[in-house]
Amino acid sequence: MSALLIANGHVVDPAGKVDGIADVLVENGVIARVGKNLKPKSAQVVNAKGKLVTPGLVDLHVHLREPGREDKETIETGLRAALAGGITSVVSMPNTTPETDNQTVVEFQLSKARKLGLARLFVAGRITKGGQRIAEMWELKNTGAVAVTDDGHDVDDACLLLHSLEWAKTFDIPLITHAEIASLSHGGVMHEGKVSQLLGLQGQSANTEVLAIQKSIALAEEVGARLHIAHVTTARGVDEIRRAQKRGVRVTAEVTPQHVSLTHEECLGWNTSAKMHPPLREEEDVRAMHDALRDGTLTAIATDHAPHLVSEKLLPFQIAPVGTVGLETSFAVVNTYLIRKKVLPLKLAIERMTSGPASALGLPAGTLRPGAAADISIFDPDIRWIVDPWTFQSKGRNSVFAGKTLYGKATDVFVGGVPKLRDGVVL
Ligand SMILES: [Zn+2]
């Protein structure tokens, strides 16, 4: 029997109701006990004094680009980047080439990740084939897909979305929407407001998102399907979700680290690293995200990690691709902008990065309760660093946080009790 003791750390396991100095005992890859002064007969000991010990973080929204765009990211580089960020479970988005709309691609991704043995990979399949007809949802689920989404685009056709929700309900698989009314966002390259006017760029109004959220909630409510709304960014959008949850609609939602910390002003200077869909919004929207994280309207923080080539992000703002990488900065951004600034209490912030996202999609992850797989992350919350994307494990250098000073880094990560990151180095 192999045993591992992570001793004297500040253990925060919201699902297990732990928040204090404690030891974590792992036996045979599984959490055996969490408590004070554990004294196993023999165990490898990791001293976590002065550090934060959490369940491995869970990221519901990651673009791994494989198959098809291995020049931007591979399953290997993406999962290594996750480990470097203290993330042990990622859900990959299906906008690959070919699309993840059939069981062959799901099988390929899962088997590749299994062989790599890095962070755990959960796969999301497409809702539709090309936005035209419903994908093979039953086969996707049977092959291991944990959700369906057309992320990158909304399902514009309301009737197709309605039928997709009916199928998703029948097969009991969550449906994730990228809330964007295409006819409204068309041509808009950033948030519509003062900054877009100043830069002379066409913007996307908040209604682009708000109307799409209303549409998907109304249809999911009619059907009774499980709906998850990706990367919410607008105060009014989050209000719609709050009201729906109060009525009993089965809807959950996530927000990205960049949308809880930055505004559209990042786009000044035609900064293409700040170009993303949905776009960075205004101060009042950021504050609304904070309120929604506090009151539980938003239960997940997910990165929308979107690696692109350096050459593409050097294109003019209007035509540069959308997205920022995020796996290696998400904990530090949440720590710097939410925990240290007392926007969110530590325990609640960790909940939004562990059990919150896990339960949104029903993933077996995000807790240190006895019997759970020993996916554990250890962070030094006080390490001060300046983000240099050239040091990333990810192939993507397009970080909206490049050059910014952040606090907190993962030092050690275990997946199933096996060390995968030691002293900040991916093993
Ligand atoms: Zn999206």
* Residues near ligand 1 ion, CB 5 Å cutoff: 151, 178
413-423 pLDDT, tens per residue? 999 999 999 99
> What's the rounded mean pLDDT across residues 187-207?
97
Q: What is the mean pLDDT of residues 11-18?
A: 98
Q: How far is the CA of 358 from the centre of ligand 1 (A)?
A: 19
Q: Ligand 1 center to residue 367 CA distance, Å? A: 27
pLDDT in tens, 56-89: 999 999 999 999 999 999 999 999 999 999 999 9
Cis peptide preceding 278, ω within 30 of 0: yes
CA–CA dist 72, 238 (Å, integer) = 32
Amino acid at 156: D
- At 284-321, the pLDDT tens digits run 999 999 999 999 999 999 999 999 999 999 999 999 99
Q: Closest Cα to residue 82, out of 422, 401, 392, 397?
A: 392
DSSP sequence for 206-271: THHHHHHHHHHHHHHHHHT--EEE-S---HHHHHHHHHHHHHT--EEEEE-TGGGT--GGGGTTT-
- Asked whether the beta carbons of 102 and 78 are under 8 A apart, the reply is no
CA of 177 to the centre of ligand 1 (A): 8
Whether residue 1 is predicted with pLDDT greater than 90 in this model: the reply is: no
The active-site residue, picked from 13, 285, 304, 375, is 304
- 124-147 pLDDT, tens per residue? 999 999 999 999 999 999 999 999
pLDDT band, residue 410 (cuts 50/70/90):
very high
95 Cα: distance to centroid of ligand 1 (angstroms)? 10
Catalytic (active site) residue 239? no
Q: If you ran DSSP here, which 8-state letter would residue 339 be given?
A: I
Summary mean pLDDT of the chain: 97
How many angstroms separate the alpha carbon of residue 182 from the centre of ligand 1?
12
Q: Is the pLDDT of residue 2 over 90?
A: no
Question: In angstroms, what is the span from residue 187 Cα to ligand 1's centroid?
Answer: 17
- Ligand 1 center to residue 93 CA distance, Å? 9
- Domain ranges for the chain, please list them: 3-52+374-382+406-426, 55-361
pTM of the model: 0.98
The string of pLDDT tens digits covering residues 47-61 is 999 999 999 999 999
Say what the pLDDT of residue 341 is: 98
Cα–Cα distance, 129 to 101 (Å, whole number)? 6
Distance 301 CA to ligand 1 centre (A): 14
If pLDDT is split at 50, 70 and 90, which confidence band does 331 have?
Answer: very high
CATH superfamily of 3-52+374-382+406-426: Urease, subunit C, domain 1 (2.30.40.10)
Backbone φ, ψ for residue 332 (5° rounding): -65, -35
What CATH number has the domain spanning 55-361? 3.20.20.140
